[in-house]
Amino acid sequence: MTTNSIPFWANDPSILFDKNEIVQIWPMPDMTMEEKMNAISRMIILLSLLGFLCTFSIRFLMIGIVTLIIVWFFYRTCGSNNHKKREGFFQDGRNQSSQIKITNPETLEVNLRSEFEDINKKNPFNNVLLTQINDDPHRKAAPPSFNPDVHDDINNQTKKMIQYLNPGIKNTNKQLFGDLGERYEFDTQSQWYFYSTPNTKVCNDQGAFADYLYGNMPSARNGNAFALVQDNLRYTLY
C-alpha cells in the first residue's frame, strides 16, 4: 500500500508518467483516492491511444479527453469531500479523536479485577449493601455491566445465587435454564428489573455535605450582624 503523498494528476500531470507509477493502470482496493483516479486516467489514455492507432479516428482521442474531464469533475466533487477535516471531540483544548487508544483485552480483564469489586453469587450486581456501609466503607465500585464479559458474569453469578438460595432444587441450570426459551426469559424478563445503581461506592458523608451547604452560613444565633438585620421590617430579602 502506497502513501498518501501521491497527488492527483490535475495538480501534477507528470505523475501519470512517473516511472514508479506508470504501470498502475487498474485501481486496487488498497490505493488512495488519488492513486485510483490516476490509474483510471492512465487506462483511459492507453485505450484512447490504442483506438486511435488502430483506426486513425480522431473520435477516440475526443472520447478520451471527455472521459478525463469527467474523471477530473468526479474527483473535484467527491474526492474533495473525503479531504474535509472531520470534527473531533475536544476536551481542555485537546482533540480527543487523535488520542483514542484500543485497550488490550487481557489488560482490560486485569483492570476489571483490580479496579472494581468482584462479582459474587451473594451480590451479583455489586450494589452497596447496608452491612457494607460500616463493615466495608472503602469498597470498590461495581464493574461496568454494559461490558459483555461483565454482563455474562452477572448472569452466571445470578444463576449460582438461585442455586444457593434453593438448595433443594438439583441442578438449576437444567431445570430452570435448560432450553432456549427459559434462557431468553431469564435474560429479558427476570433480569429486566435489576441493575447496578449509579453509585456503587460507600462515599456518602452527610457531615461533610452538611458542612458544605451550611458551614459558612451566617446565623443570627451566633450574633452575625448581617443575619440580625434581616429581622428588621424595613429590610427586604431581595
102-149: per-residue pLDDT in tens? 556 566 777 777 888 888 888 888 888 888 888 888 888 888 888 888
Given this model, what pLDDT does residue 97 score? 47
Q: Which residue has the higher pLDDT, 113 or 45?
A: 45
Distance separating alpha carbons of residues 123 and 100, to the nearest angstrom: 34
Q: What are the grid coordinates assigned to 205, written together?
A: 458523608
Query: How far are the Cα atoms of 115, 164, 186, 235, 237 from residue 232, in angstroms, in the given order?
Result: 57, 67, 66, 5, 10
Given this model, what pLDDT does residue 81 score?
58
In the predicted structure, residue 231 carries a pLDDT above the cut 50: yes
The domain segmentation of the chain, as residue ranges, is: 13-82, 114-190, 211-238
> Counting every residue, how long is the chain?
238
Q: How far apart are the first and last CA of the chain?
A: 71
Cell numbers at 214, concatenated: 451550611
What is the rounded CA–CA span in Å between residue 109 and residue 170? 32
How do residues 53-107 score in pLDDT, each as one tens digit? 988 888 888 988 888 888 888 888 876 555 555 555 555 444 444 445 555 656 6
Phi, psi angles (nearest 5°) of residue 166: -130, 70
- Beta-bridge partners for 23: none
Q: How high does pLDDT run on average in the chain?
A: 78
pLDDT at 103: 55
Report pLDDT for 98.
Answer: 47
Query: Which region among 32-46, 107-121, 207-221 has the lowest average model confidence (pLDDT)?
Result: 207-221
Q: How far apart are CA 34 and CA 6, in angstroms?
A: 7
Q: What is the DSSP letter of 90?
A: E
Pairing state between β 94-95 and 90-91: antiparallel
At residue 143, the 3 state secondary structure works out as coil
Q: In this model, does residue 204 exceed pLDDT 70?
A: no
Contact 191, 151 (CB under 8 A): no
